[in-house]
């Protein structure tokens, strides 16, 4: 029973992070995220019902509710896996990119005005150069995969 109670508490905290991710998703990913959350919520309700049944002495009902909740949570995990691994939702799209190991000049020092940004090709990948303290970063948005060079420097 302690494991079920701990799992129910952890699910509540986990749902909060999932809800935060859901608020910045769009289109089909938002609909799949809603399905993922609702099915997970159903699994949580079944596990909480299992805990209540066991506390009231209904071991058989508690087991049945727990097994059904496990099935719901497994179905929700399949949807969540599609969101992360199939659609790349809320993953760092630049995590596996590699560039040159040594300093590589891509522009002359004065070619970029203060406050300006420009995407350049560096060893087959795009990086974003911005003259705001001399920073450089990947041109790919880490959470959505879009090109940062299409936006504005703020």
Q: Where are the domains of the chain?
A: 2-86, 92-154
Task: Please give the pLDDT value at position 134.
Answer: 67
Task: Please give the pLDDT value at position 93.
Answer: 67
**DSSP tag of 144:** T
Task: Please give the pLDDT value at position 95.
Answer: 67
**pLDDT tens readout for residues 22-66:** 998 889 999 999 999 999 999 999 999 999 999 999 999 999 999
Sign of CA dihedral 5, 9, 14, 16: positive
Task: Please give the pLDDT value at position 28.
Answer: 92
Task: Please give the pLDDT value at position 106.
Answer: 82
Tens of pLDDT along the chain (154 residues) come to: 899 999 999 999 999 999 999 998 889 999 999 999 999 999 999 999 999 999 999 999 999 999 999 999 999 999 999 999 888 888 776 666 777 778 788 888 778 887 888 888 888 778 888 777 766 666 777 767 777 878 777 7
Which whole-number Å values give the CA distances from 110 to 18, 101, 106, 118, 131, in the listed order?
45, 24, 12, 13, 10
Pick the CATH number of 92-154 from 3.40.50.720, 3.40.640.10, 1.10.630.10, 2.102.10.10: 2.102.10.10
């Amino acid at each position: 029973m302690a494991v079920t109670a701990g799992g129910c508490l952890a699910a509540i905290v986990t749902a909060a992070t999932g809800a935060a991710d859901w608020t910045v998703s769009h289109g089909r990913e938002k609909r799949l995220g809603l399905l993922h959350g609702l099915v997970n919520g159903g699994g949580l309700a079944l596990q909480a019902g299992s805990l209540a049944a066991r506390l009231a002495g209904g071991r058989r009902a508690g087991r049945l509710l727990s097994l059904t909740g496990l099935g719901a949570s497994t179905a929700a995990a399949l949807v969540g896996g599609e969101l992360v691994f199939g659609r790349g939702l809320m993953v760092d799209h630049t995590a596996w990119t590699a560039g040159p190991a040594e300093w590589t000049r891509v522009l002359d020092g004065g070619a970029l005005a203060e406050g300006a940004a420009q995407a350049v090709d560096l060893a087959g990948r795009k990086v974003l150069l911005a003259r705001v303290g001399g920073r450089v970063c990947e041109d790919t948005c880490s959470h959505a995969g879009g090109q940062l060079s299409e936006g504005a420097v703020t």
